[in-house]
Amino acid sequence: MKNDRAILVAFFILFFMSGATGIIYESLWTHYLKMFLGHSSYAQTLVLVLFMGGLAIGSWITSQYRVSRPLVLYALVEAAIGIFALAFHTVFTSVVDITYHNLLPLFQHAAAIEVLKWVIASSLILPAAIALGSTFPLMVTGLIRAFDLPAGKLVSLLYFCNSFGAAVGVLVSGFWLIDELGFPGTMLLAG
């Protein structure tokens, strides 16, 4: 019983960290896309829509399947998100270079250029946002199956840990990490 409690606490700490890193990704995506789209309000709007929409899509997709080992799949999804974060800066700079040097000169109309930039920006972050959306249902399902706890209590504790992690993550990244490590370094640390 005591061992089960320690394992459960470890999962809550893990989900706290997941919330912290997820919100760090979101804030960094806003900074990166601000440079690409040319305006911070455009970037904030797009990232917020894609982040929240991706969370919803990922959660919905995950709910459509009965996963035999949800905690294993959770670990794989978190690993994929981490790999995505580790590669993000390199991928972003390459995509921006290709876009500005090869794609944008092909378009004559400003509206077409803006649409292309928004589509490219969306494709850079939507896959990770969808993956982030799958983490909550996978963790909830896995822990409900593994531990004898009331579902309502478990879900609320997981939601608290994840949300509290997000609050801590945005504070730490916004007031310290970005100043110390820059965008690429903060993304690497979160990944």
pLDDT at 81: 96
pLDDT for 2 equals 61
Residues 157-188 pLDDT 10s:
999 999 999 999 999 998 999 999 999 999 99
141-175 burial string, b = 16+ CB within 10 Å, else e? bbbbeeeeeeeeebbebbeebbeebbebbbebbee
Residue 1 has pLDDT above 60, yes or no: no
For the record, the structure tokens of 60 come out as: 């919905």
* Residue 29 binned pLDDT confidence (cut-offs 50, 70, 90): very high
What single-letter amino acid sits at 48?
L
Residue 1, classed as helix, strand or coil, is: coil
**The residue to which tokens 């995506």 are assigned:** 29
**Tens-place pLDDT, residues 97-139:** 999 999 988 888 988 899 999 999 999 999 999 999 999 999 9
> Structure pTM?
0.90
DSSP letter string over 110-131?
HHHHHHHHHHHHHHHHHHHHHH
